[in-house]
């Protein structure tokens, strides 16, 4: 059915789950014959896919959970046993990561997914702040764990997924085969309203906050997401984003278990092209930077031949006409492009930052629908999402079922901070009651720190982060993210960051743009340029952008950058780096 044709069409039916153990048990009951996972079996070097079915996955979860519980009961002090153990996972995406997460939340303790890109000193600080008792990790991080153990007094049990010869380290397989009471573990009480997950927000390790989520937060987010978005057990999902990120963990892992889909365990963003072709998934989660790279690669290939580009443009026009008359020829017309994504990709969940509407429209027109959403770690994470048949390319979507969202102190354009209330909103910041108090108002609304507005149809638009907003001399707000969007539309610009700085005289503030050019594009189209010539080229472009802006929004200084900006593991620029 053509998209964007139905306003307020009915929500989809969902089944209720109380907690994450219930979620896994329901999967075993409802979709026993649909594999939960497919991952490459490298034991025979054939790269063949191995299937893991629901009951097998649950058995693995229970064996690990019971084994860890036995070790915890043996080694923890009486005072430590008064609280649930806090269990960190530090690893690349692999089957054992999923088992470890589910074993922890299914009656064992509090799970703490860790960004594997952290340095040893950062990990030590994180482990100390969260009070980690058990850590499960891959061999690559074994030396780091042993290095920081003396600094982490609460850390009792390091468990390595792989063989590792050290008396301090437990072997994952051995833990799974400890002769323990699996039935007793499987019956341990779970309070879905207690803290079940601890997540570090972005930022420097010492200043980052630790978000406390409950299992009810996660389960409500999943159920309400699927009321708005349609999936089936026949769908398959390729996992490519880091699992410590709530977006991938909730939408790409737990939500897929809930819905009965099969998760292909990919080898990460660097191998995504190969993974797409081999797995041939129907769905995946992506961030704008990833989608933009796909788009740029397609455009670059088309630009090699004027005839090819003309033919592609004509096919897009014909396809749109046919689609208007409910004839969907997109997959057939653009089969070559779709083959690069495995041939079956139909849906991409997009989150992390606003994306260029023209890119979303492009993928829609070739038969890959992109549902842009909006979320925060504090909201488990999804807050809003576009629906398959009711959407706006430039919007973050409609509020999730069960979420109340309002704009605080809107300006003359209706723009203000977004406030959120719902069952998916977190419990608070671990060990930081003041920070928790600061983000909740007297009515129980969470102050998101994101600035935006809501249109008459209920669609949400994000204009930036409150902490990044620049206040002009006339008192008006300037949103750096909006200026960066305009700058990044040029093929000359690879990345940009807009900020405020003192002028050279030190008596006023101006807006500046730091730009990392697309050197490859510039060399291909303009030849080798000196730094001075590059500066002139970017200055001229910024001047053209300034003509589109009000005087108080205009960029006064352009700084040429010769290296990429430092980024998070999900390819978001660290603005404070």
Report the Cα 543 to chain-centroid distance in Å.
35
What is the torsional sign of CA 351, 357, 363, 364?
Answer: positive
Name the DSSP letter for residue 15: -
pLDDT value at position 576? 61
Residue 270 placed within a domain: no
How many Cα atoms within 13 Å fall on the side-chain side of residue 349?
31
Q: How far apart are CA 381 and CA 197, in angstroms?
A: 12
Q: Give the global pTM.
A: 0.89
Report the Cα 76 to chain-centroid distance in Å.
35
Whether 310 and 373 share a structural domain: yes
Query: Which residue did the predictor score with more confidence, 259 or 306?
Result: 259
| pLDDT value at 63 more than 80 | yes
Whether 450 and 493 share a structural domain: no
pLDDT value at position 268? 83
Whether 422 and 528 share a structural domain: no
Residue 65 placed within a domain: no
Whether 293 and 441 share a structural domain: yes
Q: How far apart are CA 417 and CA 435, in angstroms?
A: 17
Residue ranges making up the domain that contains 527: 470-560
pLDDT tens string 194-230: 999 999 987 544 578 999 999 999 999 999 999 999 8
Q: Which residues contact 502 (CB under 8 A, 6 or more apart)?
A: 508, 509, 510
Whether 428 and 345 share a structural domain: yes
Q: Which of 250, 223, 241, 256 is nearest to 36 (CA)?
A: 256
Whether 433 and 291 share a structural domain: yes
pLDDT value at position 551? 86
Whether 446 and 526 share a structural domain: no
| pLDDT value at 567 more than 80 | no
Whether 290 and 338 share a structural domain: yes
Give the mean pLDDT of 363-386.
96
Residue 310 placed within a domain: yes
Q: How far apart are CA 469 and CA 489, in angstroms?
A: 21
Task: Give CA separation, 17 vs 96, 100, 497, in Å.
Answer: 24, 20, 43
Q: What percent of the chain clears pLDDT 90, i.e. is strictly above it?
A: 71
- Counted domains in the chain: 2
Residue 16 placed within a domain: no
How many Cα atoms within 13 Å fall on the side-chain side of residue 398?
21
Whether 418 and 362 share a structural domain: yes
Task: Give CA separation, 447 vs 207, 374, 376, in Å.
Answer: 19, 15, 11
Whether 462 and 504 share a structural domain: no
Number of neighbours of residue 93 by Cβ within 10 angstroms: 23
Whether 334 and 394 share a structural domain: yes
Q: How far apart are CA 248 and CA 415, in angstroms?
A: 29
pLDDT tens string 304-320: 888 888 889 899 999 98
- Domain containing residue 481: CATH number: 3.30.300.30
Bridge partners for 440 per DSSP: 446
Q: How far apart are CA 211 and CA 237, in angstroms?
A: 27
Whether 423 and 484 share a structural domain: no
Residue 411 placed within a domain: yes
pLDDT tens string 418-476: 999 999 999 999 999 999 999 999 999 999 999 999 999 999 999 998 888 887 777 77
Residue 565 placed within a domain: no
């Amino acid at each position: 059915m053509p998209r964007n044709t139905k306003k307020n069409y009915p929500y989809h039916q969902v089944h209720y789950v109380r907690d994450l153990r219930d979620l896994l048990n329901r999967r075993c009951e409802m979709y026993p014959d649909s594999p939960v996972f497919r991952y490459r079996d490298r034991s025979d070097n054939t790269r063949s896919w191995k299937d893991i079915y629901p009951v097998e996955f649950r058995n693995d979860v229970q064996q690990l959970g019971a084994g860890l519980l036995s070790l915890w009961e043996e080694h923890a002090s009486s005072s430590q046993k008064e609280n649930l153990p806090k269990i960190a996972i530090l690893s690349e995406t692999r089957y054992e990561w999923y088992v470890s997460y589910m074993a922890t939340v299914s009656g064992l303790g509090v799970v703490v997914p860790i960004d594997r890109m952290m340095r040893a000193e950062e990990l030590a600080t994180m482990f100390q702040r969260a009070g980690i008792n058990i850590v499960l990790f891959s061999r690559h991080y074994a030396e780091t764990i042993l290095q920081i153990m003396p600094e982490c007094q609460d850390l009792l049990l390091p468990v390595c997924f792989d063989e590792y010869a050290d008396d301090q380290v437990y072997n994952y397989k051995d833990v799974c085969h400890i002769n323990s009471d699996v039935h007793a573990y499987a019956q341990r009480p779970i309070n879905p309203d207690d803290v079940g997950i601890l997540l570090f927000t972005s930022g420097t390790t010492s200043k980052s906050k630790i978000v406390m989520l409950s299992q009810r937060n996660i389960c409500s987010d999943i159920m309400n997401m699927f009321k708005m978005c349609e999936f089936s057990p026949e769908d398959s999902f390729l996992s490519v984003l880091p699992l410590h990120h709530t977006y991938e963990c909730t939408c790409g892992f737990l939500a897929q278990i809930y819905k009965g889909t099969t998760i292909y365990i990919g080898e990460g963003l660097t191998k995504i092209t190969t993974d797409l072709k081999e797995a041939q998934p129907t769905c995946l989660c992506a961030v704008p930077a990833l989608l933009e790279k796909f788009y740029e690669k397609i455009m670059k290939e088309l630009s090699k031949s004027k005839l090819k580009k003309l033919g592609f443009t004509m096919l897009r026009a014909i396809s749109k006409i046919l689609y208007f008359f409910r004839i969907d020829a997109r997959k057939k017309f653009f089969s070559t492009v779709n083959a690069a994504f495995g041939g079956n990709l139909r849906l991409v969940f997009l989150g992390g930052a606003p994306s260029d509407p023209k890119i979303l429209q492009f993928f829609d027109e070739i038969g890959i629908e992109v549902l842009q959403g909006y979320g925060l770690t504090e909201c488990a994470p999804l807050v809003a999402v576009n629906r398959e048949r009711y959407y706006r390319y430039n919007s973050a979507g409609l509020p999730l079922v069960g979420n109340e969202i309002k704009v605080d102190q809107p300006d003359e354009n209706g723009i203000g901070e977004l406030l959120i209330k719902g069952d998916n909103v977190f419990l608070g910041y671990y060990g930081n009651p003041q920070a928790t108090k600061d983000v909740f108002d007297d009515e129980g609304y969470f102050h998101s720190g994101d600035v935006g507005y809501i249109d008459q149809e209920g669609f949400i638009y994000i204009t930036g982060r409150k902490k990044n907003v620049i206040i002009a001399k006339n008192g008006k707000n300037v949103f750096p993210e909006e200026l960066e969007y305009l700058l990044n539309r040029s093929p000359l610009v690879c990345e940009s960051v807009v900020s405020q700085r003192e002028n050279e005289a030190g008596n006023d503030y101006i807006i500046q743009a730091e730009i990392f050019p697309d050197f490859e594009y510039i060399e291909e189209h303009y030849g080798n340029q000196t730094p001075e010539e590059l500066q002139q080229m970017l200055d001229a472009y910024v001047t053209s952008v300034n003509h589109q802006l009000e005087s108080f929004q205009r960029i006064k200084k352009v700084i040429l950058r010769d290296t990429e900006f430092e980024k998070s593991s999900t390819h978001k620029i660290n603005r404070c780096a």
